[in-house]
Amino acid sequence: MDVRAKLPKGKGFWPAIWLYNPAYTPDEIDIMEFIGEDRTTIYQTLHTKNHGENQFKTKNPDWSTEYHNYAVRWEPGSLTFYIDGVQTGRLTNLVPSDKMYLMVNLDVGGPSSWGGAPDGATAFPSSVDVDYVHVYQQSP
Q: What is the mean pLDDT of each run of 10 residues along the chain (140 residues)?
A: 97 96 87 96 92 91 97 96 98 91 93 88 95 90
Contact 33, 41 (CB under 8 A): no
Q: Which residues are known catalytic residues?
A: 28, 33
Do the domain assignments include residue 48?
A: yes
Query: What local confidence, expressed as pLDDT, does residue 114 receive?
Result: 86
Q: How many structural domains comprise the chain?
A: 1
Do the domain assignments include residue 125?
A: no
Do the domain assignments include residue 28?
A: yes
Query: What local confidence, expressed as pLDDT, does residue 34 receive?
Result: 97
Do the domain assignments include residue 130?
A: no
Ranges assigned E (strand) in the chain: 2-6, 13-20, 28-34, 41-48, 52-59, 68-75, 78-83, 86-91, 101-108, 129-134
Query: What local confidence, expressed as pLDDT, does residue 112 receive?
Result: 82
Would you give the end-to-end CA distance of the chain in angstroms? 17
Do the domain assignments include residue 23?
A: yes
What pTM, to 2 d.p., does this model score?
0.94
Q: CATH no. for residue 51?
A: 2.60.120.200
Structural domain boundaries, residue 93: 2-110
Do the domain assignments include residue 138?
A: no
Do the domain assignments include residue 126?
A: no
State how beta strands 86-91 and 2-6 pair: unpaired
Query: What local confidence, expressed as pLDDT, does residue 64 receive?
Result: 97
Query: What local confidence, expressed as pLDDT, does residue 26 receive?
Result: 82
Query: What local confidence, expressed as pLDDT, does residue 52 receive?
Result: 76
Do the domain assignments include residue 92?
A: yes
